[in-house]
Structures are given as C-alpha cells and as structure tokens.
Amino acid sequence: MTLLSTTADSEKLGSYDINIPYLAVTAEEQARIEGGTQYPLYLPSWDPVWFKPMPPFEFSDPALRAGASKATLLRELNAKLIDMTPRMGTIVEGLDLSALNNAAKDELALLVSERKVVAFRAQGNFLDMGPTAQQQWMNYFGKPNYQPVSGSIKDHPGFHIIHRDGNKEELTSFFSQKTTSCLWHQDVSYERQPPGYVMLGLLEGPEVGGDTVFAATDEAYRRLSPSFRAMINPVKAIHSSANMINHTKALGGLVRKGAVQSVHPLVRVHPVTGERCIFINGEFITGFQGFKQAESKALSDFLLNHIITGHDFQVRVHWQPKTIVIFDNRSTLHSAIVDYFDEENGAKARHIFRLAAMAEVPVPVTE
C-alpha cells in the first residue's frame, strides 16, 4: 500500500482525502510495490525539499492564440472528436499528444476551454516520453505547480502521484467514519494564480471502477435565478491550504511548503469563453468575506449540493490504461470515485499522475 498510517491515527484525525498518499511506506512494502508495477519510475517519493511561495507572473492563455476552426487538430492531424455529453466532455481519437506542435497545443487549449474535459486514449508514446519531457510538454500551458504534501516523483516535484495497492486497513478505517469517498474540488485553488489546465495520466487501474466525475460550474451558475446570481456575484471566498498542511503534520508526513491563503471571487469569469463560473470547492474554502460562520456554511452547502446533484451538467470519465485526460480547472469541479475495492481483498491497483499548469488570477464579475 502507498498510504501508511495506523488505524488509531486515522480514527483520531480523520482522512483528509482518501486518494492522496501522505506518508512513505516501509522499505519492505516499497520493494513489493516496485516489483508489482509496470511504472516504478512513477511511484511516489518524499524528497525533503522546501518550496518558497510562488511569485506573481504574467500568464498568456494559449487558447486565445487559436483559431475557432481548430484547423491543425481537425484537418491537418485528422483528429476525431466524440462528445461524451451534449454540454461537456470530448474523447479525441487519432491524435498522438507527444507529436503536437505549438499550433496544435493552442487549439487543444481552446478545445479544453470549450468542452472542459478532454480524454485521449492509447497515449503510449506520451507515457513513454518520461517525466522530464512530460513536464516540459505541460509547461506550455502554464507554470508548474509543486505539490506541498504527499508523494511526487523524485526530482520531479510537479508530478502529484496517486497510487493505491490493496490498502484494505486504510479504506476500512476511512469508511468507518465517512459515507462517501467523494471530495468535490478544484485543484490548488488556494494559490494566488490557481491552475487553469490540469492533466491526469492513468498508468495502471482497475478493469472496472475508479472513474473521475466532473461538473460544469458555468452551467451550474446559469441554472441559478437572476436574483441569486446577483447576490453571489460580488462575494469573495477565502481559500487556504492550512487544513491540508496541518493534517499532514499531525500524521507525521512531509510538508514541503507553508500554508497559502488567497481571496478569490466566488464567481469568476473564464478568460477564454467569457462564461461566469462558480468557483467553490469542498476542500480549500474556509469561509466568505463578511459572512458569519453559519452563513458561510449555508451558502457553501447550497452551492455544493446544487453542483453535486446536477447530473445533467456532469460527465463521468471511464478510465482505460494509457489514457490521458486534460480538464479545465476554472470551469469544473471534480471528484475521484473509490469504488474499486472490497472488504476481503482490499483495493485494486490504481496509479495516476497529475500535472497542473498555473494560470491567471481569477477574474471577478466586476471586471
């Protein structure tokens, strides 16, 4: 297993996110895991490094350089687009991500901005490039994010690694306190300039299960009444990584960065589509400016329930080996689904990496 904490610790502290490995395993467990995976290079490591706060930077969205026709992707490269739902989600066939030029990457960014979740099957060439080339490829879409806790690839801190391998005790302890594994969120929203484009790469996974579900926050905004939209347009949300940092410290895990807090608009304007998107999550928001605790909870609970139950503006990605997914972190919420285990055998192997590209400061409606 890739998570190592005692049942007593889990019951005392709770599990912040069941998908994230907070602590290194024993040498014996590590040897067993390395012998059982096809991708030992991508197993999580805990390098004792310290990251300074990310300074402000200028961001130019590559999607704004692309033509609406996406001529390079659709005509020159003959990519085939298959919609997963009418409103969001596209599967791209016949495209090798490792071979894209800059024009194709610009159009890809536009496609992701428009369709929000884009899946690419059979990307063996991209996975064979290795972490250095993969990080360089993703850097085209924004500055890399360095995960402050949990496992990453040695000497490649931009890789956030999720690895599960039969961790029955951890899961049993988690579900003794929780009714669901779902944690709806946007990635790294506590940073001043959160990620715009995020890549997930499946290295190994269960034959069935372990999906990721996404919800469109622009469509969720449109479903609200004009009066309610007017009420939330000027609201500011406080995003913080302090709970995640403190949880990791309490477990004895490695922390690579101090807690970060930012204030962002609850409704942000997407720089490419111009749509207004609800910018909320169940992980990093600690309250709303000018709101009392009970008021913050009521507003947060309503909006999250509205988005989570809005199955008519959601899409569910069914993973296959060597699948790459790129999603828009500005206009979606997502949650992993831990349904690939049983009490007798524990969890099936599931091995995913994440690369996040930091983008613009969220744009409020008032601008």
pLDDT band at 5; cut points 50, 70, 90: very low
Please list the helix, strand and coil fractions of the chain in percent, rounded to the nearest 5, in that order.
30, 25, 45
CA distance 216 to 85: 12
| Cβ burial, residue 86 (10 Å; 0-12/13-18/19+) | exposed
CA distance 146 to 125: 25
Region 161-185 average pLDDT: 78
| Cβ burial, residue 255 (10 Å; 0-12/13-18/19+) | middle
Please report the pLDDT score of residue 339 as a whole number. Answer: 85
Q: Mind listing the pLDDT tens digit for each residue in 270-281? A: 999 999 999 999
Lowest mean pLDDT among 59-68, 209-218, 240-249: 240-249
Average pLDDT over the chain, rounded to whole?
89
Please report the pLDDT score of residue 147 as a whole number. Answer: 86
CA distance 95 to 93: 6
pTM: 0.92
- Higher pLDDT: 167 or 59? It is 59
Lowest mean pLDDT among 34-48, 69-83, 252-266: 34-48
The domains found in the chain, sorted by start residue, are 7-357 (3.60.130.10)
Residues 116-146 as b/e (b if ≥16 CB within 10 A, e otherwise) read bbbbbeebeebbeeebeebbebbeebbbbbb
Lowest mean pLDDT among 216-225, 288-297, 349-358: 349-358
Please report the pLDDT score of residue 25 as a whole number. Answer: 60
Q: Is the pLDDT of residue 8 over 60?
A: no
- Higher pLDDT: 236 or 182? It is 236
Q: Is the pLDDT of residue 24 over 70?
A: no
CA distance 62 to 273: 13
Helix ranges restricted to H, 184-336 = 217-223, 226-232, 242-251, 293-308
Please report the pLDDT score of residue 15 as a whole number. Answer: 46
Please report the pLDDT score of residue 13 as a whole number. Answer: 42
CA distance 205 to 196: 26
